[in-house]
Each structure stands twice: as structure tokens, then as C-alpha cells.
Structure 1
Amino acid sequence: MSQRWEHKVVEITTTLFNRKLTEKIQEELDRHSRQGWELVAVSHTNAVDSVRLYLKKAV
């Protein structure tokens, strides 16, 4: 039997006078991992100060 997955893409950006991007990424990863999500990949968006996190969890 093959495993079924649910997927989620989270885009994280930072704005002027906001927390560091690395702190926001850590916060998002911690929050989603508590909900059972697993990080699969990370990519940069066109903006220099933005990344996308690709997550999955078993259904």
C-alpha cells in the first residue's frame, strides 16, 4: 500500500524593521513540525528576502 501525503507551501518574507528572516524560518518550522509537517525542500523566491518552505505530512 502506498503512503498518501498532504502538502503545504509556506512563503516567508521579511519587511523593514522586522525580525531576521532566519528567526522567522525557525519559528515557522517549529510551529509546523508540532502539527506533524516535515520539511521537504526550501527555495528562494524572486525577492532577496523571501523563501518558500515545502512541507508534507502523512494523511
Structure 2
Amino acid sequence: MTARSTTTGRGLAALLIATAALARGVVTQAQAEAIDAQIAAGELDAAYAAIGATRDAARTADNRG
């Protein structure tokens, strides 16, 4: 597997995760667009961090009831 295919695969995975998070209401449309811009710019680590932060915030809110 080449570095390019690995990067492409990670980008696709991040995009799918962000899309699922948007569909479930974990992220807002604006957050999803920001994550999409990070993916397009090749900033995959930042995109994954953003997805994780919004997911964690949603879990915290759910736990509070």
C-alpha cells in the first residue's frame, strides 16, 4: 500500500465518519463543513480530532441527561 492510497483511505474514512456524525446529529452542519474542509486540505489528523471532540461533547451532554 502506498502513502497516497493510505492517505486517500484515511480521508475517505474521515469523510464517512463526519457524514455519519452529521446524520446522527452529533455535529452541526457548520462543524461538518469545517471537517470537510480539513479533509480536503489533507489535514486528516485535525479532522479526526474535530470529530472526536464533537463526539465526546455529545456523549458528555447525553450523560448529563
> TM-score normalised to the size of structure 2?
0.31
> TM-score normalised to the size of structure 1?
0.33
Q: Per residue, is there more helix in 1 or in 2?
A: 2
